Structure 1
Amino acid sequence: MQRGSRFSLGLFILLTVFVFSLVNWGTGLYVDWLWFSALHYPQVFITKLLSEIGLRAAIGFFMFLFLMVNLLLTRKSVLQAIKSAKPFRPVFPDDDVITINQPSYDSWREQITPGRLTAIFAVISLVLGFLYSATVTGQWTTVLKFVQQTAFGVADPIFNKDIGFYIFSLPFYELIYRLLASAIFINILLVALVYLVTDTARGGLTKIFRFPAARYHLSALAALFFILKSWGYWLNRFGLLYSTGGVVHGAGYTDIHATLLAYQVLSVISLITALVIIANIFLNKFRLTAYAIGGLLLASVVLGGLYPAVIQKFVVLPNEFNREAPYIANNIKLTQQAYQLDTIEQRDFPAGRTLQPKDIQENRNTVENIRLWDWQPLQQTYSQLQEMRLYYEFKSIDIDRYEIGGRYRQVMLAVREMNQEQLPQQAKTWINQRLKYTHGYGIAMSPVNEVSGEGLPQFFLKDIPPVPATDIKVTRPEIYYGESDDGYVIVNTKTEEFDYPKGDGNAYSKYEGSGGVRVNSFLRKLLFAINFADYKLLLTGDITNDSQVLFYRNIKERVPKIAPFLSYDSDPYPVINQKGEIIWLWDAYTVSDRYPYSEPFDNRGNNYIRNSVKVTVNAYNGEVNFYIADTRDPILQTYSKIFPSMFKSLAQMPADLRDHIRYPEDLFLVQCRMYTLYHMTDPQVFYNREDKWTLPTEKVGTEEKPMEPYYTITVLPGEQKPEYILIMPFNPQNKKNMIAWLAARSDGENYGKMVVYEFPKQELVYGPMQIEARIDQDTTISQQLTLWDQRGSSVLRGNLLIIPIKDSLLYVEPLYLQSEQSKMPELRRVIVAHGEKIVMEPTLELALQRIFGEGAALPTPIKQGAPPQTGQTGQEQPAPQATIKELAVEANRLYEEAQTKLKNGDWAGYGQSLNALKEVLNKLQDQTNP
């Protein structure tokens, strides 16, 4: 193949790739426009698109002009070098070759005219400008936040600038600095290369400063760089407020008294260096430039490195606390502000108080809502009992509260989603995956504390179609949008959509929502086929003008697609509204890594967080709404200015959804971790870590794990009504007892308020691991656990919950049994500890009665062991046969234990076993009596 043909083929391939890339980009852009429009967020799409394209265009055009001007300044030198270049003649070693009509090998110089050279420079500048513009991809939010910034109304303690300067302005200035510095550096390299090549063409010795044009040009660029560097040193001063070199995060004594001075001096020296370089253009003394640059480097080493090190070692370390005390106070104050720890109300909580039987009766609502089911074992049990078919899946178990039968109840619930990966292999056809198996179906719900006789959850909602046992009903059970990753589907086609299994056949349905994009033309059909890289979509004859494509159906992809500038909680949860629709509620956060002096909470350096937005997604039609949960957050106020039609006030959220908003667990955990240290407000105490707290651990299964925050319904001390709260206990450093517990409130006007209850430091209050140790040391409980583990079953210890009741604490831990052949854990025992007593019983009610006596019996028993009876909530239900069997097994074990102790001569142990056996037999008699 000839050289020209190869070149043409390569050019054709390059153009083909370019055209296909352009088509794919344009197709994706248009499909996204259709999707945003269908969701009624076209303004968000336009703002993001125009901002991104506009920023890239502006930076690319600037770089193009900058490069073009500098290259044009070299044009004269290039043309002169071409004219003065030595003639070029090829050497033919073979004298026998006769060349006819040999061309002039110097004719190339005649082809390079000023106009053509300008065109070459323009192409080079255009390509480099386009490539350079890619460096600002994703930076449109930085620019828009700078333009629309909102003041925080709080000033930093060093430079007295509003916090908004650090959140919005400083990142923008740093972006401009980086862009200008890199642009100047690229121009210096390119211009130096041009002069080097032209100098070589002249036959020079590659000394680019030998010619005045090169010397003037490069000197001007160097002077411009050092002027910019002076501004960079000035900006670096503000970065000291994020310093990590002191005893706390933020500027310390050395930063303020040494490094800050260094930046100020270096800023001036950098300006002087620029002036020296400019003067050298006329003085023609290159050594002055070298001395100036060398002086700047030496000053940066001495002032920026050695001087701060000397100050730190000889001034700060000998008297560290006194030097750092004001800066520690700054760190404490601003960290508390960044995490809203300064809003936590502090209250005292007595230690050693003992509950009375009447206290249990008076706090019936609290006791009835003690969570006995943990999400891990419950998810396995839900999967076994309620998934129904292989292609259904419960992605997660969530917790919420509802008003049920006039009572405030805490419930566990899970959405039954479609998982196409679980379809049989022969059923994984394109028709099935895209047109037929389009959605999940229904929801399962159970109370947190009710258990059947078999140790399984009682259901408020179950089966397909959903069967309610309460006044909660689901009228729209289809799940088109959730946490599943099944990709796009097409609805309202000629193929019937599978709805749910029904008897020996299936029920089918037709989508009645508007959550997709219509495929009402061949062009759209073609565009979707290109966008999804799915040619079958183009060939199918099942699509009609009424068909809709539903895509971005995973809510963890759908919502961030609209608002990528927000951060999101790890756990969206479903809510059943009064219409019977399933709505996903998801907490969104505004975060920043630019809050002065604030300690970061993650490895990305983020040190500010607010739960500013509540997001709702309709599981049927995919409608997404953003509601403002924190109107005081300046970052969200700025986003509201950028996207004026995007956010709604929380008052616009339907009341039945507002009743289900809750304090988010992720935010609470961040605040708890920070509060372990930042509850100390005295700099001396903080410096010595005298009162540092730690987050507790607990025994889950057979492992010791960090304790997780947990929701519960209780009446806080000093309050009158039960409310939904999130709790986390605290331990003192290096100890296992409990020193305090923090509660975040979720209901009504108290939403978002936090209260910490502190125990007297001189009295012992059992911490979670101390209770776990007492469980392990209790001979009756430990023997029973060992017995179960030896009979083909494994014992799973659930989460230990510490429940505040009045001015005392109740410790509750469920126990689950799981056989080796089954993956369905059963709740078989409940351990309760209070004061010095610890008991294990088949039900929570029996455990409470054993600790507090018969007077602790509730007016309406907790129905553990009996299914709920509609209209029969006030009647006692008979104990299940399984509980009687368990008591019989326990009696037999105690009898054998007593006989063993008798043989060994352990008369005291023999008496204890007989007493325990008598107690079990009494319970057995009570259970069997009609």
Structure 2
Amino acid sequence: MTIGITGPERKAPGRSAVVGLIIIAIVAAISLILLGLVADFLVDWMWFSSIGYPQVFWTTIGAKAGVFFVVFFTTAVVLWATARLALKQARRSRLPAGFAWKLAATATQPDPFEFMRDRLPWPRIIAATAGLVALPIAWAEAGNWSTILQFLYQVPYGANDPLYEKDIGFYLFSLPAWIAIKNWALLTLFMSALLAGLIYWVHGDIEYQAQRRSISPIAIAHGSALLGLFFAVKAWSYGLDRYLLLFGDNGVVVGASYTDIHVELPVLWLLIAISTIAALAAWANIWVRTYRLPAAAIVLLFGGAFLLSGVIPGLFQRFYVRPNELEWERPYIQRNIALTREAYNLNRITPKPFPAEQNLTFKTLETNKATIDNIRLWDWQPLADTYAQLQEIRTYYKLRDLDVDRYWLGGTYQSVMISARELNSSLLPPNAQTWVNRHVLFTHGNGAVMSPVTQKSGEGLPLFYLRDIPPVAHGGPEVREPRIYYGAESSDYVIVNGTVPEFDHPKGRDNVYASYDGSGGIPLSGMVRRLIFTDYFNDVNLLLTDYIADGSRILIRRNIRDRVRTIAPFLTLDRDPYLVISEGRMFWIQDAYTTSDYFPYAQPAPGLDLNYIRNSVKVVIDAYNGTVDFYLVDPGDAIAATYQRIFPGLFKAFAVMPPDLQKHIRYPEDLFLIQAKLYQAYHMEAADVFYNREDLWQFPRQPAGDGVSSLDGVAPMAPYYIIMRLPGETQAEFFIMIPMVPSRRDNMIAWLAARCDEPDYGKLIVYEFPKEKLVYGPFQIEARIHQNTEISQQISLWNQMGSRVVRGNLLVIPIENSILYVSPLYLRAEQGHLPELKRVIAAYGEHVVMKETLAETLSALFVENGAAPAKRGAAAETPSEGSQRRAQEALDHYNRAMERLRSGDWTGFGREMDAVRGLLEDVSR
């Protein structure tokens, strides 16, 4: 016998140190994550409190936390209970009767799971695993907080669906919540089965090897119980699928079709029965304990689902419904039409006839002076280039968006283009891109630029109602507080009321500085707050700088869309917030929508994930203080009413909006565009006409880009805002409109308008042309412009002289019961970016003319082409001396009339033309 002597046990060098470093790293990582979460929470709390919405913050946080903890606790308990049961049963079944083969196996080869099975602290591992798996599930489900709150606080819609006779609010609020709960239940069951299976596998109850594959009776019983729960949830899922039939699309009908109701619905009831039977069979197998019964149930359910809900409805649709499709689908097409019109408020569009007559006279133009004076000759792209060249002043200012609005200026209702002059610190020269410049000195924009839509200077440049820095008003509204701290361009945080004054605006060789005295921002007093924001922005300069004083404030989320989204993430925002000047201050108005994709039988909006939309909220943001006010303009909207119950302090009544701001609300272009696209088909209310697409409309085509040499590149016409007097109305008003043409045709068939002024705000009208009369559409007028020899020669000449012609959009201008077409023409240097308005093209009837100004164009169009009532040649028909004198007087009056016309004096023009008429009538006697 040999006795071996061994020395003391050696430890791997540095092992304890490595373990210690790993533990320190893990603790540090967890601490940083928690610090980040705490910093986010504290910053949000301070920010919501600073703008007056702490209740919204706590409601949102409470809902997220409530959903998170309920889902986390429930998921963790289910996973823990399933895993503990599996552990208990697996240990009880170790080496059970009938498993003698394991003795032989362990006697001949080592058991790879012996250490895991016998030495690991399984209760603690199961608890930790259940928590870790439940954590991401709960985190993901917390994103459904809005869905859950809508379910709990839902307001009835007030109308029922035609199939199940349920209030539509069930589909808007309850169905999404039930689907979210169902998906969570399926995921939790799957993870439970996976965790239990892993435990059974480690303990040998599940064997999956090349030599042997087996499952112990205990594992079979446990799996059967979970499978039974899965089948029960599937039965519920098929029950919910009955309601999802109302959102299907077979290419003819959106919603439940003939096949859905007569085949799919009975099939779903059958699948509910099969799932229930499968669940009972699986639970019965807890005592039978054979894998054949659950396998048969799985094959029966999924095989039956494939055959019953996949193959049979397809065959029924192809061989029974399609040959007689219109006959079978007619009532369901009618449902689709009715509910789509309801979902998009298309049923509120009032159709009116439009005779499309050819009887315009100068008397008519004088009566519609407000329309003529507001014909938009400045397109946004050429005007944006001109604004940038003339009014951005410095490289760090940006005139980002041009918006069309209307103001009472000089006693007249005028349409104007307006743009805010915002500051973008990223446009500072590279060597000036310092932290101090970006966050302390250059903090705000200054003023706005405004010009009328139809006037120009002698050089072809816009006439500015507002210009320069600080803004100077020449006929425009006065701006007493021009500084813009919150806008569409603002993104970085800035610090105000620091130890140095802020840059306000340039003045000659010097700069003017100012201090912020508004109410926006969060106080930065105390080192704790600076530490919080240092972590939040990951910017140590906030901690180290000496530019922060006791009264300093930090302005964050200065982008107006970000501000609104943070407060109300459940609202969908219009893409174009617009600037309003009211009582000397500057405000942004942001249109916000309530939307859903769960409106039964409604056609989804083209390219968007929604089939219901309302512009129920107008949001006003103060450009200086950053205050955000939500005004409820459609209290009848069930979704908005539900959110009003959830957040009782969020929405204000529209009546409390300042009256001057109420004058500037407008029908949003995004909503109008969605409605117009759907109305192209859904103006057809008869199922037969809709099915045959007999009267399908589309937007007119127009040349794409700014070229004018060909019509090869085309794009659909976009809606535009205009001031004009609608047929039958007594005064001009502001509205948005777009023409319509028949499908695959270019002649105009109708025009759609949405009114923007109170008391008729939100009313939509479609003016339909006589179907037996040809009315030229915009693309046909474009073709006639290109075919006009004088115009095409002039354009070709300009393009050969180092200049580039830029054609503006062709506008359709309804006047009385006639249509006038107007298009501006711009000229710019080949390498320049300063377009000048040089010509105006107009078309009426068979005539197309181009002159330097709109007044001259209309004069040439109506007088020279005989459209005016005067007849210039009448004076030459009388040879007497008196007649010659009166003819000379008529000519003098005519010349004065042309002068009045060029100056835009329509009243004087009409007076002179009346004198011409009287003289010519005397001569003709």
Match of 1:527 in 2: 532
Give me the whole-angstrom Cα distance separating, in 1, the residues matched to 2:115 and 2:672. Answer: 77
Task: Among all aligned residue pairs of Structure 1 and Structure 2, give the percentage whose two residues are the same amino acid.
Answer: 45
Q: Is the 8 A contact 2:227 2:282 kept in 1?
A: yes
Amino acid at match of 1:408: Y
Q: Deviations over 1:341-397 (max 9, x none)?
A: 101001000023320110011111110011000000000000111111111110111
Q: 1:780–1:492: structure 2 CA closer, same or farther, 3 Å change rule? A: same
Alpha-carbon distance between aligned partners in 2 of 1:526 and 1:862, rounded to the nearest angstrom: 70
| Paired letter, 2:795 | L
The residue number in structure 2 matching 1:25 is 37
**1:813/1:831 contact within 8 Å kept:** yes
Q: CA separation of 1:863/1:655 partners in 2, compared to 1, >3 Å: closer, same or farther?
A: farther
Q: Unpaired segments of 5 or more residues in structure 1? A: 92-104, 877-930
**Alignment equivalent of 2:546, drawn from 541, 544, 552:** 541
Give the corresponding residue for 1:382.
387
SS of alignment partner, residue 377 of structure 1 = helix
1:505 aligns with 2:510: yes
CA distance in 2, matches of 1:790, 1:495: 55
Other-structure match for 2:810: 800
Q: Which amino acid aligns with 2:660?
A: D
C-alpha deviation, 1:860, in angstroms: 10
1:323 to 319, 323, 328: 328
Superposed, 1:385-424 pairs within 5 Å as 385-424=390-429
Which residues of 2 match residues 479-878 of structure 1 at below 5 A? 479-578=484-583, 580-699=584-703, 700-702=705-707, 703-853=713-863
* Residue 433 of structure 1 pairs with residue 438 of structure 2: yes
Measured in 1, the distance between the counterparts of 2:771 and 2:105 equals 93
Distance, in Å, in 2 between the alignment partners of 1:602 and 1:313 is 27
Q: Give the aligned partner of residue 298 of structure 1.
A: 303
CA shift at 1:863, angstroms?
9.9
Judge conservation of contact 2:249–2:255 (CA < 8 Å) in 1. Answer: yes
1:874 Cα shift? 9.6
Q: Which runs of 5+ in 2 are unaligned?
A: 1-12, 97-101, 708-712, 870-893, 910-925
What CA distance in whole angstroms lies between the structure 2 residues aligned with 1:358 and 1:271? 79
Deviations 1:209-259 (A, max 9, x none): 433x32221111111111111111111111111112241221111111111
What residue number does 1:260 align with? 265
Assess, with a 3 A threshold, how the Cα gap between structure 1 residues 293 and 721 changes in structure 2: closer, same or farther.
same
In structure 1, distance between residues paired with 2:808 and 2:245: 47
User: What is the Cα deviation at residue 11 of structure 1?
Assistant: 2.2
- In the superposition, relative to structure 1, how do residues 537 and 323 fare at CA in structure 2: closer, same or farther (>3 Å)? same
Deviation at 1:811, TM superposition (A): 0.5
One-letter amino acid of the counterpart of residue 790, structure 1: Q
Task: State yes or no: 1:63 paired with 2:75.
Answer: yes
Q: In structure 2, what is the Cα distance between the partners aligned to 1:677 and 1:207?
A: 61
Deviation at 1:192, TM superposition (A): 1.7
Give CA-to-partner distance per residue, 1:788-828, whole Å, 9 cap, x none.
11111111110111111111111100000011232000000
Measured at CA, do residues 865 and 455 of structure 1 come closer, stay the same or move farther in structure 2, by a change above 3 Å? farther
Deviations 1:580-605 (A, max 9, x none): 00000110001111111111114443
Find the counterpart in structure 1 of residue 876 from structure 2.
Answer: none
Amino acid at match of 2:411: G
CA contact (8 A) 1:360 1:858 kept: no
Distance 1:469 1:246, change over 3 A: closer
Query: Deviation at 1:202?
Result: 10
Asked if 2 retains the 8 angstrom alpha-carbon contact of 1:452 and 1:864, the reply is: no
SS of 2:394's equivalent in the other structure is: coil
Contact 1:420 1:486 in 2 (8 A): no
Q: 1:860 to 1:443 in 2, by over 3 A?
A: farther
The answer for the alignment partner of 2:216 in structure 1 is 210
**AA in 2 matched with 1:519:** L
Cα 1:657/1:110, change in 2 over 3 Å: closer
Distance 2:252 2:779 in 1: 32
Structure 1 distance, partners of 2:802, 2:811, is: 28
Partner Cα distance (1:865, 1:29) in 2:
63
Deviation at 1:261, TM superposition (A): 1.2
Partner of 2:152: 147
Partner of 2:872: none
Q: Distance in 1 between matches of 2:206 and 2:216?
A: 14
Q: Which amino acid aligns with 1:787?
A: L
In structure 2, how many angstroms separate the alpha carbons of the residues matched to 1:557 and 1:452? 39
TM-score, scaled relative to structure 2: 0.89
**What's 2:915 paired with?**
none
Describe the SS at the equivalent of 1:721: coil
Separation (CA, whole Å) in 1 of partners of 2:605 and 2:823:
31
Secondary structure at the aligned position of 2:809 is classed as coil
What TM-score do you get using the length of structure 1 for normalisation? 0.88
Contact 2:415–2:453 (8 Å) recurs in 1: yes
CA shift, 1:55, in A, is 0.5
Alignment partners' CA distance in 1, 2:741 and 2:789: 27
Q: Distance in 1 between matches of 2:116 and 2:459?
A: 94
Query: Would the aligned equivalents of 1:400 and 1:411 in 2 still touch at CA under 8 Å?
Result: yes
**Number of equivalenced pairs:** 855
Matched-pair contact (CA < 8 Å) for 1:450–1:864: no
2: CA distance between counterparts of 1:478 and 1:83? 82
Q: Distance in 2 between matches of 1:408 and 1:860?
A: 24
The residue number in structure 2 matching 1:52 is 64
Distance of 1:638 and 1:739 partners within structure 2: 40
TM superposition shift of 1:182: 1.1
Moved more, 181-190 or 698-707: 698-707
What does 1:189-228 align with in structure 2 at a 5 Å threshold? 189-199=194-204, 209-211=215-217, 213-228=218-233
Query: Aligned partners of 1:157 and 1:300: how far apart in 2?
Result: 27
In 1, Cα distance between equivalents of 2:343 and 2:772 = 32
2:488 pairs with 1:478: no
Take 2:557 and 2:282, find their aligned partners in 1: how far apart are those partners? 57
Matches of 1:861 and 1:572, distance apart in 2: 41
Q: Provide the secondary structure at the position in 1 that maps to 2:759.
A: helix
- Once residues 48 and 459 of structure 1 are traced to their aligned partners in structure 2, the CA distance between those partners, rounded to angstroms, is 46
Q: 1:10 to 1:78 in 2, by over 3 A?
A: farther
Equivalent position amino acid for 1:426 in 2: N
- Residues 745 and 752 in structure 1, CA contact (< 8 A), matched pair in contact too: yes
Q: Supply the distance in 2 between the matched residues of 1:329 and 1:746 (Cα, whole angstroms).
A: 31
SS in 2 for 1:626: strand
Q: How far 1:836 sits from its partner (Å)?
A: 1.1
Distance 2:837 2:69 in 1: 63
Tell me, in whole angstroms, the C-alpha distance in 1 between the residues paired with 2:17 and 2:895: 93
- Residue 157 (structure 1) shift: 1.1
What SS does the aligned partner of 2:138 have?
helix
The 1:861/1:570 distance shift into structure 2, 3 A limit, reads farther
3-state SS, counterpart of residue 828 of structure 1: strand
Secondary structure of the residue that 2:840 maps to in structure 1? strand
What is the alpha-carbon distance in structure 2 between the residues aligned to residue 325 and residue 368 of structure 1? 49
User: How far is 1:76 from its partner?
Assistant: 2.5
CA 1:108–1:502 in structure 2 vs 1: closer, same or farther (change >3 Å)? closer
| Structure 2 Cα separation of the partners of residues 662 and 177 of structure 1 | 42
Q: In the alignment, is residue 42 of structure 1 matched against residue 54 of structure 2?
A: yes
1:611-657 deviation digits (Å, cap 9, x = unpaired): 11001111111010000111111000011111100000110100000
Alpha-carbon offset, residue 108 of structure 1: 8.7
Alpha-carbon distance in structure 2 between the residues aligned to 1:289 and 1:678? 50
Shift in Å, 1:132 = 2.0
Q: Give the superposed CA RMSD.
A: 2.6
Q: Which among 152, 172, 180 is matched to residue 177 of structure 2?
A: 172
